[in-house]
């Protein structure tokens, strides 16, 4: 691979004698990773259940390496949201940001959702996650990953940081900034990225990073933390971005990050940060900094969303009576024809570009409720009365994922939750032993 001269000089200055070892790492095999979705399955259970061999990623409890040649995305468990494919170094920001149950978390550069799905798993259904990306197109991919993972406490939106800061002053306990960057750490994995590298790109990214950091500062509660990460080596986008931010914000301090597993300290004097290099670890390049806000409490005046009344909920109540077990309560809201169940403390979002608020249960049309794919993915098998639970070896599993009608003599008439080994895949509607397929059109197995 031909590297630009300015880049070579930058890396030599950073690495000194280690530069040769870094170059040699380009010859090594590419590494592949996946992360168990602990909202649905434990890492140990997943490793036992899948037929491909997994070995643990040392810095992420739910992370595994899998071998080249395996195709984990072509597996019913992938469609059941049991794991997310993620490069092993990219698991560090989501693993190292201190998340407490009940936290209000912002993932401001979230698409396509690698870290968002990890943050949601760590919240374990508690608190609130706002997953945002400035690109409306990329936010659509983010929404699919949120839904397939069965995340019920996220709001997916697409807004610039300035707009968010106007609405969410002092609102968040934790913010993840997985910043847009020049991507130098991905050159080994994606050699094409070398072609778009130039020094102007670094300057452009640095400006974006400064803007995002600045707006995030005001959205954080006092005592709250920002995890800033990039997948680049450029000091300008890493320690220099953080130093400028600290110079402008004396209320922030750096919190030291763990330096195990071959991770190295950030460039002097910001040694609290960590750098990941491909010649030091089994993964690609990354940079992480953890910042904490100190000082006077930050006022928050973000209004919360109100619930709709029981009258409007009647069609859903009828569906729940016929189809679901348990009691369904909380803050319900209707957006367009979508009925959503919101996480506690969800903010009012009128005027913001929101793709999804909380758990989309289904649509309300002409007084009828129709359950959604996202509803199925967030349910547990026990929460539904009528279930068609197929084993992985049942040939009907793939046929269901392809959108076919199934023979289902074991299912009762009515709405049916279709599962593989007890994990929901989607809905069907059974009549006299035949299951009409309601799997989401855009999600079909190809």
The footprint of ligand SAM (CB under 6 A) covers: 108-115, 133-135, 138, 160-161, 178, 180, 208, 212
Going by their DSSP bridges, the two strands 387-390 and 414-420 should be labelled as parallel
Residues in the chain: 446
Smallest distance, ligand SAM to C-beta of residue 136, A:
10
Distance from chain centroid for Cα 98: 16
Residue 260: how many CB atoms within 10 A of its CB? 8
Distance from C-alpha of 151 to C-alpha of 117, rounded to nearest angstrom: 8
Rounded distance between C-alpha atoms, residue 425 and residue 422, angstroms: 9
Tokens of 222: 């006092």
- The one catalytic residue in 231, 273, 340, 419 is 231
Main-chain dihedrals φ then ψ at residue 254, nearest 5 degrees: -85, 140
Instruction: Assess contact for 171 and 221: CB atoms under 8 A.
Output: yes
Do 226 and 290 form a contact (C-beta atoms < 8 A)? yes
Element (H, E) at 52: none
C-alpha dist (Å) from residue 10 to 4, 13, 53, 214, 237 = 10, 5, 38, 27, 12
Under 8 Å between Cβ of 443 and 144: yes
115 is in an annotated binding site: yes
Q: Is 267 a catalytic residue?
A: no
Alpha-carbon span 446 to 370, nearest angstrom: 25
Token pair belonging to 137: 């197109």
- Residue 251 makes CB contacts below 8 A (sequence gap 6+) with 293, 294, 295
Q: Minimum Å distance from CB 111 to ligand SAM?
A: 4
Neighbours of 402 (CB within 10 A): 12
Q: Report the distance separating Cα 122 and Cα 136, nearest Å.
A: 26
Ligand-binding site membership of 110 (annotated): yes
We find the least distance from the C-beta atom of residue 116 to ligand SAM, in angstroms, to be 7
Nearer to ligand SAM, 229 or 416 (CB): 229
Q: Which residues are annotated as a binding site for S-adenosyl-L-methionine?
A: 109-115, 133, 178
Catalytic residues: 231
């Amino acid at each position: 691979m031909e590297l630009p001269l300015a880049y070579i000089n930058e890396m030599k200055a950073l690495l000194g004698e280690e530069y040769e070892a870094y170059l040699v790492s380009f010859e090594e095999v590419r590494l592949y990773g996946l992360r168990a979705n602990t909202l649905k399955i434990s890492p140990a259970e997943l490793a036992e259940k899948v037929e491909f061999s997994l070995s643990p990623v040392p810095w992420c409890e739910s992370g595994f390496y899998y071998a080249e040649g395996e195709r984990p995305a072509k597996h019913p468990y992938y469609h059941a949201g049991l794991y997310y494919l993620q490069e092993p170094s990219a698991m560090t920001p989501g693993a190292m940001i201190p998340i407490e149950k009940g936290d209000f978390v912002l993932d401001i550069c979230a698409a396509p959702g690698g870290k968002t799905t990890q943050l949601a798993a760590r919240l374990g259904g508690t608190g609130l996650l706002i997953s945002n990306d400035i690109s409306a197109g990329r936010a659509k991919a983010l929404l699919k990953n949120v839904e397939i993972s069965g995340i019920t406490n996220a709001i997916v939106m697409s807004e610039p940081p300035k707009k968010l800061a106007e609405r969410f002053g002092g609102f968040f306990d934790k913010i993840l900034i997985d910043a847009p960057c020049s991507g130098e750490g991905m050159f080994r994995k994606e050699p094409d990225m070398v072609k778009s590298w130039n020094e102007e790109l670094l300057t452009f990214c640095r400006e974006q990073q400064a803007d995002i950091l600045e707006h995030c500062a005001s959205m954080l509660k006092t005592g709250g933390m920002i995890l800033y990460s990039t997948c680049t080596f450029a000091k300008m986008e890493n320690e220099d971005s953080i130093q400028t931010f600290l110079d402008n914000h004396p209320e922030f301090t750096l919190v030291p990050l763990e330096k195990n597993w071959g991770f190295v300290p950030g460039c002097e004097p910001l040694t609290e940060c960590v750098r990941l290099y491909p010649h030091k670890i089994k993964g690609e390049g990354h940079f992480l900094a953890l910042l904490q806000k100190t000082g006077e409490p930050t006022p928050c005046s973000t209004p919360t969303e109100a619930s709709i009344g029981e009258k409007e909920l009647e069609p859903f109540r009828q569906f729940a009576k016929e189809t679901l077990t348990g009691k369904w309560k909380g803050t319900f809201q209707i957006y367009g024809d979508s009925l959503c169940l919101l996480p506690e403390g969800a903010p009012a979002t009128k005027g913001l570009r929101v793709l999804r608020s909380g758990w989309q249960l289904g649509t309300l049309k002409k007084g009828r409720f129709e359950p959604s794919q996202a509803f199925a993915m967030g349910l547990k098998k026990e929460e539904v009365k009528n279930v068609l639970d197929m084993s992985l070896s049942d040939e009907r599993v793939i046929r269901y994922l392809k959108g076919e009608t199934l023979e289902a003599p074991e299912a009762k008439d009515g709405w049916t939750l279709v599962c593989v080994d007890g994990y929901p895949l989607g809905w069907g509607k059974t009549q006299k032993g035949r299951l009409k397929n309601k799997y989401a059109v855009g999600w079909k197995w190809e």
